[in-house]
Amino acid sequence: MTLLLPDLELIKTIARPSPTKIVLLVIDGLGGLPHPQTGKTELETAHTPNLDRLAVEAICGLTNPVSPGVTPGSAPGHLALFGYNPLCFTSGRGVLEAIGVDFDLEQEDVAARGNFCTVDEAGLVADRRAGRISTEKCAELCQLLDGWTIENIKIFASPVREHRFIVVFRGEGLDPDISDSDPQQIGVAPRSIAAHTPQASRTASIAAQFVARAKATLAGRLPANMVLLRGFSRRQKFPSMGEIYKLKPAAIASYPMYRGLANLVGMEVLQAGTSFEDELATMKQSYADYDYFFMHRKGADSAGEDGDFDRKVKVIEEVDRALPSLMEVKPDVLVVTGDHSTPALLKAHSWHPVPVLLRSKWCRPDKVSQFSESACSSGGLGQLPATQIMLLAMANALKLIRFGA
Amino acid sequence: MTLLLPDLELIKTIARPSPTKIVLLVIDGLGGLPHPQTGKTELETAHTPNLDRLAVEAICGLTNPVSPGVTPGSAPGHLALFGYNPLCFTSGRGVLEAIGVDFDLEQEDVAARGNFCTVDEAGLVADRRAGRISTEKCAELCQLLDGWTIENIKIFASPVREHRFIVVFRGEGLDPDISDSDPQQIGVAPRSIAAHTPQASRTASIAAQFVARAKATLAGRLPANMVLLRGFSRRQKFPSMGEIYKLKPAAIASYPMYRGLANLVGMEVLQAGTSFEDELATMKQSYADYDYFFMHRKGADSAGEDGDFDRKVKVIEEVDRALPSLMEVKPDVLVVTGDHSTPALLKAHSWHPVPVLLRSKWCRPDKVSQFSESACSSGGLGQLPATQIMLLAMANALKLIRFGA
């Protein structure tokens, strides 16, 4: 018999409720690569006196969200930090986005993430994001696609943000095991949607009919004259953080997908504005009501994906400036880390391990005095699977009883 | 499929007998936390010239007995050091204590660990250890409870040490899957014993009758006027160290539970006195007869659990002073480590990784020159599962052939 650590069944047996509180601050895409001219990463370039002071008081290390060498998507990166092995717990993009915009997804629904995009006269994708149309425009276009019925399957279309939307298929006999139409590149035609198994062929056909009808409906509505769909999926039942960790967890995240993820693992998703100050204010107001807070900052990842080294530095500095305000609540355990690396030099998520600091009264501090990739690589946590961070946070909050006789 | 290393089936295929000898010295509860005034742990505070010299010649690191964040009981902590994954091999406290006092446990017996305790007039636990009554007193009280028969189940009670004793239930149809009566805290009533499954309900009822009858029998015998039972369990079959490692292993430990553990994995348990000098003398006398010695020192853990930082420092210094005597046998491989951390500041076992040193002619020494938590965190072994220590010891003793063509 083999057991994968952390084993959620084991944790259930040793977790106990306690008054201590854990705050997990995720700086999305935190890890980076050194700038060729300075030899310093984004985090090392940023002026971060508050993070550095925390590093002195904390135990530091580097996490691997999935495995060394594996570049995680946002969902596995976060699930790992919540202690869910992302190789065992997967969730499609469609489901995550749908839950994130509070769409009331039913058990048998199949959801997909959509992009409004631009295709040229030859039908090739010219812009996968239709010039990042406004959320208002997106909502207007969704109304054109919403409420259709194809072969007794009811179809819903709802806006997410900018060019992003969701499509939900509802009815009997659906199967999400079908391929994306989004080719994830420009200059090529959208892919035809294919069933991966015979049972999914009807669903593939219905999705393809939806795409064809959307193309006809959007014709001439430049720049948003076509749709791309990906991540067809059905809601999977996850054991909740309440069940596993005996926690009452809250999520403070402004981006829909992260709210969706938090909802999937049973966190209460609090209403917050869009700035970090708004999120901090929400956390402080509700600090008495929960014992675990997941706080999410998106900007560093977006800057990294745009290849904007300097903007990523600035986002990190903004987070640093807000830290004294966060620390006013005096969390028993504070974890600061990222869900994955997004080096501006790669303009994409990457496999590089992610700096982490864990500060508590019982953390056994190491000699790391700067929060950076290079300093954390000699930290007391060593290099560890991100899935173990949650266990360490629980231990440091004295929320785990001992294992075995 | 996943493979858990160390995999005992794999080790069986590569282990071979050889004349070299391995000594594992376990300083129970070795790891600690820094004293707030000095910033140094118990081990860092102790004057340990001999351990430090060994560290220079050795390769060092930090072990995680079960997983980062998981606080191990003594049994999983030791099983890991013997190379048995403690998540796969579990043994209840009742069985371990029973084997440790050489009780001849039969296959179907259900054993529990008992405490004589003090309850007040309201029946609430006032002292879980009845003022740590003497072992003689314990033996006298056990005679009052021994030899009963309840519903055709024969009951044995035997003293362990001080307030500790064992109860063994023997007869047909027993099932150990029942809850503890020991609430593990004071100020509350002992818990009623409940069956976790319908099949165990008769056993729960018999155990509850035993407790009620013990209460009546002990009434007025302050401070030991009640019993608390925990760790109901049945002996599980473990593959022996002889089978797996082709070793002839011996255990030198004065505390019953550790003797029980050693017996479970097939070690010969040698008779030793209670002091470390006695244990060393036993080891030297029998050095020719075995090729693996597990030596156990309890005192550091007890001092840690009592919150006595200074006494834990002294115990470590005592072990250090005895090391030159141990080294006279010139073991081919010496491993010094703990089964878990027991920081005096926490007054309990903890999840913090444990310093380890491994010294052999072939160990590839690192730059660690002090045996301490902080120095070992930059040691050549890095941070590793404690289950891998046994493999490394075997390798360093040249007792493993190569794997694969």
Summarised one tens digit per residue, pLDDT across range A272-283 is 888 899 999 999
Rounded to whole angstroms, the Cα distance separating A382 from A365 reads 12
Nearest Cα to Cα of residue B160 among B178, B133, B191: B133
To the question of pTM greater than 0.90 for the whole model, the response is no
Residue B48, pLDDT > 50, answer yes
Which residue intervals of B170-200 are DSSP H helices? Answer: none
Nearest Cα to Cα of residue B42 among B53, B27, B56, B31: B31
Rounded to whole angstroms, the Cα distance separating A79 from A64 reads 12
Residues A403 and B85 sit within 8 Å (Cβ to Cβ): no
pLDDT at A5: 58
Q: Which residue has the tokens 């550091």?
A: B300
Q: At what angle do helices B256-264 and B93-100 cross, to 10 degrees?
A: 100
Summarised one tens digit per residue, pLDDT across range B361-380 is 999 999 999 999 999 999 99
Rounded to whole angstroms, the Cα distance separating A184 from A167 reads 18
Cβ of A391 within 8 Å of Cβ of B74? The answer is: no
Residue B319, pLDDT > 80, answer yes
Rounded to whole angstroms, the Cα distance separating A394 from B67 reads 13
Residue B90, pLDDT > 70, answer yes
Cβ of B71 within 8 Å of Cβ of A401? The answer is: yes
Q: What residues contact B70, with CB distance under 8 A and at least 6 apart?
A: A10, A14, A391, A395, A400, A403, B64, B351
- Find, in chain A, the residue whose alpha carbon is nearest to that of B231: A405
Residue A57, pLDDT > 50, answer yes
Q: A19: buried, middle or exposed (CB in 10 Å: 19+, 13-18, 0-12)? A: exposed
Rounded average pLDDT over A215-228: 96
How confident is the prediction for chain B on average, in pLDDT? 95
Q: What residues contact A349, with CB distance under 8 A and at least 6 apart?
A: A29, A71, A72, A73, A74, A77, A301, A305, A340, A341, A342
Rounded to whole angstroms, the Cα distance separating A43 from A52 reads 11
Q: Smallest Cβ distance to A392: which of B68, B86, B349?
A: B68
C-alpha triplet A347, A353, A357: angle, nearest 5° = 115
Residues B145 and B155 sit within 8 Å (Cβ to Cβ): yes
Cβ of A3 within 8 Å of Cβ of B350? The answer is: no
Rounded average pLDDT over A288-296: 98
pLDDT at B372: 98
Q: How confident is the model at residue B282 (pLDDT cuts 50, 70, 90)?
A: very high
Q: What residues contact A348, with CB distance under 8 A and at least 6 apart?
A: A71, A304, A305, A342
Q: How confident is the model at residue B4 (pLDDT cuts 50, 70, 90)?
A: low
Six token digits for residue A400: 């785990």
Contact list, A405 vs chain B (CB under 8 Å) = 73-76, 91-93, 96, 113, 231, 257
Cβ of A403 within 8 Å of Cβ of B66? The answer is: yes
pLDDT at A3: 44
Rounded to whole angstroms, the Cα distance separating A216 from A192 reads 16
Name the phi and psi angles at B384, rounded to 5: -140, 155
pLDDT at A4: 53
Q: What residues contact A29, with CB distance under 8 A and at least 6 apart?
A: A300, A301, A302, A303, A304, A305, A312, A338, A339, A340, A341, A342, A349
| Inter-chain CB pairs, A–B, below 8 Å | 99
Q: A30: buried, middle or exposed (CB in 10 Å: 19+, 13-18, 0-12)? A: buried
Rounded average pLDDT over B59-80: 95
Residue B3, pLDDT > 70, answer no
Rounded average pLDDT over A188-209: 97
Residues B362 and B398 sit within 8 Å (Cβ to Cβ): yes
Summarised one tens digit per residue, pLDDT across range B383-404 is 999 999 999 999 999 999 999 8
Q: Higher model confidence: residue B298 or residue B252?
A: B252
Residue A369, pLDDT > 70, answer yes
pLDDT at B297: 93
Q: Smallest Cβ distance to B92: which of A5, A400, A405?
A: A405
Residue A375, pLDDT > 50, answer yes
Nearest Cα to Cα of residue A86 among A204, A208, A234, A261: A261
C-alpha triplet B232, B193, A16: angle, nearest 5° = 80
pLDDT at B1: 33
pLDDT at A272: 81
Cβ of B71 within 8 Å of Cβ of A3? The answer is: no
C-alpha triplet B303, B308, B310: angle, nearest 5° = 100
Six token digits for residue A88: 């065992």
To test the contact with chain B by mutation, choose from A12, A16, A333, A364 the residue with the greatest count of B C-beta atoms within 10 A, namely A364
Q: What residues contact B219, with CB distance under 8 A and at least 6 apart?
A: B225
Cβ of B73 within 8 Å of Cβ of A384? The answer is: no
pLDDT at A269: 95
